[in-house]
């Protein structure tokens, strides 16, 4: 086939991720020709409004998916946490790449850890999930909306005099900015977003030729973990701009899923975990997603019964 056309958001981080994908593909297929097609998404264009107020799913994926469906690109590279749980007709999740660090990190101007931030400290983040969990741990903090790419947020922290910002560790590490990290936030305080740290490759449904070209990058363990996370999110409402956190991990032959629903003010928190044995998955090449999806739905139902329904109802989530 001609050069593989790979669609990417045009941010520094997104292009880094796309170049990483290409480098990994060339490890297995040195002669594979790839072309990066930069595409600006709605979320990249609207930078002066908090994500939660835009009120639209697919803020960072829709334009890529349109290009994919119209045949302008063959593959769309996404941060998996940006990808809605329901994909548009004609698009499929082709490959889930190996996950890097899924945690959130704190970056502070005075090298303060989260516990050391002064009372009333202003902490920048664009995520309701992060805001809610920060307030649950430190009700005295003042979360402030902060949009833009990693480098833009670091600059705004200085310009706006914020004491700290919270970002995904994966993005900071991929841009080789590890020295700016003050603290990796423990999961007990800040559980990550669904799919955080993972890169997804979306393709046209049924495009077996492209799937064959990218299949070598598929990581079964990550795919199982995020399938459980995404099933939980889908049952709880499906959108990425509600305070829902989850993390799937494979330990000792088990898939362990943690989930958390938090009110926006941080005062209400419902959390739980479930696990399932993964024995037998080797018979299907590890690709039987029914098991992790069922785990995600079951944990979601448990959280709803224990109070998450009331929290989400306040946010007008259709359950």
List residues with catalytic annotation: 82
SS (H, E, C) the chain: CCCEEEEEECCHHHHHHHHHHHHHHHHHCCCCCEEEEEECCHHHHCCCCCHHHHCCCCCCCHHHHHHHHCCCCCEEEEEHHHCCCCCCCCEEEEEECCCCCCCEEEEECCCCCHHHCCCCCEEECCCHHHHHHHHHHCCCCEEECCCCCHHHHHHHHHHCCCCEEEEEHHHHHHCCCHHHCCEECCCCCCCCCCCCCCEEEEEECCCHHHHHHHHHHCCHHHHHHHHHHHHHHHHHCCCCCCCEEEEEEEECCEEEEEEEEECCCCCCEEEEEEEEECCCHHHHCCCCCHHHHHHHHHHHHHHHHHHHHHHHHHCCCCC
**Euclidean distance between CA atoms 75 and 166, whole angstroms:** 30
SS3 of 12, please?
Answer: helix
DSSP one-letter code for 317 = -
Backbone angles phi, psi at 316, to 5 degrees: 60, 35
**Euclidean distance between CA atoms 234 and 87, whole angstroms:** 12
């Amino acid at each position: 086939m001609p050069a593989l056309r790979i669609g990417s958001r045009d941010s520094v981080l997104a292009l880094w991720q796309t170049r990483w994908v290409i480098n990994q593909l060339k490890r297995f297929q040195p002669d594979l020709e790839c072309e990066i097609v930069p595409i600006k998404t709605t979320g990249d264009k609207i930078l002066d409004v908090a994500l939660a107020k835009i009120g639209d799913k697919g803020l960072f994926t829709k334009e890529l998916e349109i290009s994919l469906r119209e045949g302008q690109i063959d593959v769309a590279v996404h941060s998996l946490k940006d990808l809605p749980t329901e994909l548009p007709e004609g698009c499929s999740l082709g490959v889930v790449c190996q996950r890097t660090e899924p945690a959130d990190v704190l970056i502070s101007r005075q090298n303060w850890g989260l516990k050391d931030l002064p009372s009333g400290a202003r902490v920048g983040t664009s995520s309701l999930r992060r805001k809610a969990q920060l307030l649950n741990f430190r009700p005295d903090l003042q979360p402030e909306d902060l949009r833009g790419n990693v480098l833009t947020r670091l600059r705004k922290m200085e310009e706006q005099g914020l004491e700290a910002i919270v970002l995904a560790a994966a993005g900071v590490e991929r841009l080789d900015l590890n020295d700016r990290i003050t603290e990796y936030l423990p999961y007990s305080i800040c559980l990550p977003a669904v799919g955080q740290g993972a890169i997804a490759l979306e393709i046209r449904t049924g495009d077996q030729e492209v799937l064959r070209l990218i299949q070598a990058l598929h990581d079964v363990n990550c795919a199982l973990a995020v399938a459980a996370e995404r099933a939980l999110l889908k049952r709880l409402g499906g959108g990425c701009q509600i305070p829902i956190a989850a993390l799937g991990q494979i330990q000792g032959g088990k898939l362990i899923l943690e989930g958390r629903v938090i009110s926006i003010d941080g005062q209400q928190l419902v959390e739980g975990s479930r696990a399932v044995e993964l024995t037998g998955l080797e018979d299907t090449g590890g690709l039987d997603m029914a098991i992790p999806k069922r785990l995600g739905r079951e944990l979601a139902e448990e959280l709803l019964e224990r109070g998450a329904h009331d929290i989400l109802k306040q946010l007008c989530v259709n359950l």
